């Protein structure tokens, strides 16, 4: 007992801050810090393993695709870029590419959206959706040919300042007040007909 108390005094006088903290915790709680840390680490490790296993199962199910009736798993074929995709207009670079092609012809794999962590075609699909919405507003019908009448330009796209929800795709800017816009066709918005708002009467009038 004397030796242990002597060690404690030595730790308090000459020990590192970490050792002092550990000793104070043991004296106050009566349990060693290492045991509680080990239990906490084990619990965190188990939670991490379960989360990783769930993610791996999801990725494997997405990667393997649907299984066919004979028990074989259907996988998506690997796609590669065309050789023209990496051709350059520079003559020097073309010569260098031809030399490397003679040495070894390498195919470049097209990465999937999961590997890229984004969808390169998403912007085009969004633009097509906006164009289709605006064509419907103006009564132009769906776009079937490039020679069809284009949609008139919108001065702005109005969003809710609180939640950033899109409210209007077709707006007209005020001729005098450049910061004011008129919404031509409104979406994601409903009218509260039970409440009437009026301007306060101006004293100058």
Residue boundaries of the structural domains of the chain: 119-181
pTM exceeds 0.75 for this model = no
Note whether 187 and 178 are within 8 A (CB): no
Q: What is the pLDDT of residues 121-136, one digit of tens each?
A: 999 999 888 888 888 8
Q: What is the pLDDT of residues 166-185, one digit of tens each?
A: 999 988 999 999 899 988 88
């Amino acid at each position: 007992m004397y030796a242990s108390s002597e060690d404690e005094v030595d730790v308090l006088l000459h020990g590192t801050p970490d050792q002092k903290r550990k000793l104070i915790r043991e004296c106050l709680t009566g349990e060693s810090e290492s045991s509680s840390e080990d239990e906490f680490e084990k619990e965190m490790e188990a939670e991490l393993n379960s989360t990783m296993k769930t993610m791996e199962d999801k990725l494997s199910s997405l990667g393997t695709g649907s299984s066919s009736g004979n028990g074989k798993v259907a996988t998506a074929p690997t796609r590669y870029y065309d050789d023209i995709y990496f051709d350059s207009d520079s003559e020097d670079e073309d010569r260098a590419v031809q030399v490397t092609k003679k040495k070894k012809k390498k195919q470049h794999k097209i990465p999937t959206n999961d590997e890229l962590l984004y969808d390169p075609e998403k912007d085009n699909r969004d633009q097509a959706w906006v164009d289709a919405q605006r064509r419907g507003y103006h009564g132009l019908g769906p776009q079937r040919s490039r020679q069809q009448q284009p949609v008139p330009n919108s001065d702005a796209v109005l969003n809710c300042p609180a939640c950033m929800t899109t409210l209007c795709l077709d707006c007209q800017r005020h001729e005098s007040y450049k910061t004011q816009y008129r919404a031509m066709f409104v979406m994601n918005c409903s009218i509260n007909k039970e409440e009437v708002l009026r301007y306060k009467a101006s004293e100058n009038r």
